[in-house]
Amino acid sequence: MGSATAFHLADRGLDVLGIERYDVPHEMGSSHGVTRIIRKAQYEDPAYVPLVRRAYDLWRELEDRTGRELLHVTGGIDAGPEDSEVFAGSVRSCEEHGIDHEVLSADELNDRFPGYDLPDHHRAVYQPDGGFLVPEQCIIAHVEAAQAAGAEIRARETVADLASLSDGVRVTTDKGTYEADDVVVTAGAWARKLLPELTELAVPERQVLAWLRPTEPERFEASNFPVFVHAADDGHYYGFPRYDVPSFKFGKFNHFGEEVDPDAMDREPRRGDEEMLRAYARRYFPDGAGPTMRLATCMFTNTPDHHFVLDTLPDDPRITVGAGFSGHGFKFASAVGEVLADLATDGGTDHDIDLFRLDRFDRARDG
């Protein structure tokens, strides 16, 4: 989100400094792991659809600008029991927004894409526009485009403090102090350490991903295996075809539900992580449950309602926040950068972001 915002601000001719505490890109937060799902149907809430449509357009524009291949179309599956949030919400989203889709029985899905082995009582929404982004390349592309537009990007520099001034903001890091008219905070799992307003609203959670070598590799090639979100008996899972790593990649949303301090998280995958994920693959993707090739940790940063925070702070509109992307945000990054740039420069945006405003939490508390 930060690299996208830096690009959009610089592309408007503004003087932009981007500060990253780790590398560009890095594996310490929520934006690594080779692939990230993108899909037009949004079972979480149909209000996301206009934003993801804009994101598709902006990813393609970024590809044209940088010459990097970022978005791969494989088709996408949202599956589960007929009354599950994933299936029913996806159908609703498609119907409300006229998204091209098919509804498939489990048998139809398994026959068309033999890597899948979903049970008879599950149904699926197939979206031909679904696919995946390559997150590390997306970040590099946004940084390159931002730099080409005049932005200065500094890595290996940690923000220690933000302070409001009478005519702007001051940012203090371990290497210096900077003053600006406005600041945009896209600190991921560290956001609540910088902004007390987010202490209860942007909570980091440990996540683990698995890459298993398929016993039938051709069934998991991108041409034969759409990305998926699946409502299983024990939670929601997501997965990808083989890409870069010679394996079937997948994970469970919210994994074991471990709230963590991002500076003290256990970053080494554990045996229990692998066993839980492998049990899922054996049940629903048996031809993908071969030897483990890779495990990796990352983090979700969850809001109470699992919707994003895109807003300016109520007590200081010079501080704009993008936070709490709750494990489903990366696909939107190109458009979120545009939204945050709008908020920082104009105080508002033409995008409909009512779902993501901070005051929704006040309204929820007040009943």
Q: How confident is the model at residue 15 (pLDDT cuts 50, 70, 90)?
A: very high
Give pLDDT, residue 367.
Answer: 64
Tell me which residue of 333, 64, 318, 299 sits closest to 190, measured CA to CA: 299
Give pLDDT, residue 39.
Answer: 98
Whether residue 214 has a cis bond before it, omega within 30° of 0: no
Instruction: Give the phi and the psi of residue 311 in degrees, each rounded to 5.
Output: -170, 170
pTM: 0.97
pLDDT (tens digit, 9 = 90+) per residue, 62-108?
A: 999 999 999 999 999 999 999 999 999 999 999 999 999 999 999 99
Instruction: Give the integer Cα–Cα distance in Å for 362 and 154.
Output: 36
What letter does residue 347 receive in the DSSP assignment? S
Give pLDDT, residue 215.
Answer: 97
Q: How confident is the model at residue 325 (pLDDT cuts 50, 70, 90)?
A: very high
Q: CA torsion sign, 268 to 133 to 185 to 183?
A: positive
pLDDT (tens digit, 9 = 90+) per residue, 277-304?
A: 999 999 999 999 999 999 999 999 999 9
Are residues 102 and 136 in contact, defined by beta-carbon separation less than 8 angstroms? no
Instruction: Give the integer Cα–Cα distance in Å for 264 and 312.
Output: 29
What mean pLDDT is predicted for residues 16-33? 97
Give pLDDT, residue 90.
Answer: 98
Are residues 354 and 332 in contact, defined by beta-carbon separation less than 8 angstroms? no
What mean pLDDT is predicted for residues 245-252? 96
Give pLDDT, residue 365.
Answer: 73
Q: How confident is the model at residue 213 (pLDDT cuts 50, 70, 90)?
A: very high
Strand pairing report for 168-173 and 227-232: unpaired
What mean pLDDT is predicted for residues 185-195? 97
